[in-house]
């Protein structure tokens, strides 16, 4: 198995574990008796592309995640993995996973950090799916020496990253004020953004397709 799968695999198994506990409380008798460790083993043998899809799908927080994962695992253990992409059950998983993947990719570009007093870079957002972990992984790597805070306001989740580490955090106090430099550079950015548009080529439909309105709430250049 490639090394990069490792952290996803852990997350995926962890989610599965949580779900299993939740489910077993609800449905004691029809309990799905898959040992977590053997699931991890099974998943470790799953093709990398399929595993990726399952991982993204888990972030969608769909109600059916638990059942769907069971089904895919049984397909894989029955040796039908090669045909999985044309399997109807897998198709909707794949579609949803793609939407999650797209949201992660977009936030990699659209997330905006604000420098606040105390030397932190703070980014708030309200994603449709639970994508804070893969995003934190991206930014923890990118801004290694910065102290950054990602804040999913929809779910009340926060992650603090510094020196490549990611720590789950809780926002208990109001976010500190912006620094003076922050005001300067965000204004400079807004000005730059307006300047760069070529009026002979105006295409607001294209702009809306590429930056859907739901992302604009937290992007400085779209602030009124």
Q: Give CA separation, 120 vs 3, 176, 197, in Å.
A: 31, 9, 31
Count residues near other proteins (CB under 8 A). Answer: 53
Nearer to other proteins (CB atom), residue 28 or residue 195: 195
178 binds other proteins (CB under 8 A): no
Positions in 129-168 near other proteins (CB under 8 A): 139, 141-146, 164
State whether the Cα torsion 98-70-64-61 is positive or negative: negative
Among 82, 117, 155, 217, binds other proteins (CB under 8 A): 82
Helix axes 65-77, 5-26, angle to 10 degrees: 120
196 binds other proteins (CB under 8 A): yes
From the CB of residue 63, how many other CB atoms can be counted at a distance below 10 Å? 8
92 binds other proteins (CB under 8 A): no
Nearer to other proteins (CB atom), residue 55 or residue 90: 90
Backbone angles phi, psi at 178, to 5 degrees: -65, 150
DSSP assignment of 4-51: THHHHHHHHHHHHHHHHHHHHHH-STT-----HHHHHHHHHHS-HHHH
| Contact between residue 137 and residue 166 where contact means Cβ atoms under 8 Å apart | yes
Q: Which two tokens stand for residue 182?
A: 């922050």
Least distance in angstroms from the C-beta of 162 to other proteins: 12
Among 112, 133, 157, 218, binds other proteins (CB under 8 A): 112
187 binds other proteins (CB under 8 A): yes
185 binds other proteins (CB under 8 A): yes
Q: Which residues bind other proteins (CB under 8 A)?
A: 82-83, 85-86, 91, 105, 108-115, 121, 123, 139, 141-146, 164, 180-181, 184-189, 191-193, 195-207, 209-211, 219, 221
């Amino acid at each position: 198995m490639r090394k990069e799968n490792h952290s996803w695999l852990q997350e995926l198994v962890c989610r599965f574990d949580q779900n299993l506990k939740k489910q077993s409380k609800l449905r004691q008798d029809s309990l799905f008796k898959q040992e977590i460790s053997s699931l991890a083993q099974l998943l470790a043998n799953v093709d990398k592309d399929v595993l990726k899809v399952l991982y993204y799908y888990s972030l969608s927080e769909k109600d059916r995640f638990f059942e769907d994962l069971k089904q895919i695992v049984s397909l894989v253990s029955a040796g039908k993995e090669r045909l999985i992409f044309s399997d109807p059950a897998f198709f909707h998983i794949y579609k949803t996973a793609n939407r999650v993947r797209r949201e992660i990719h977009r936030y990699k570009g659209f997330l905006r950090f604000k420098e606040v007093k105390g030397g932190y870079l703070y980014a708030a957002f309200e994603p449709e799916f639970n994508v804070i972990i893969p995003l934190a992984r991206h930014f923890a790597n990118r801004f290694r020496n910065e102290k950054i805070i990602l804040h999913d306001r929809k779910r009340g989740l926060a992650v603090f990253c510094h020196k490549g580490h990611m720590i789950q955090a809780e926002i208990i106090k109001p976010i500190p004020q912006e620094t003076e430099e922050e005001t300067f550079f965000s204004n400079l950015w807004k000005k730059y953004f307006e300047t760069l548009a070529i009026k002979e080529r105006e295409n607001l439909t294209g702009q809306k397709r590429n930056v859907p309105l739901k992302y604009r709430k937290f992007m400085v250049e779209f602030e009124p």
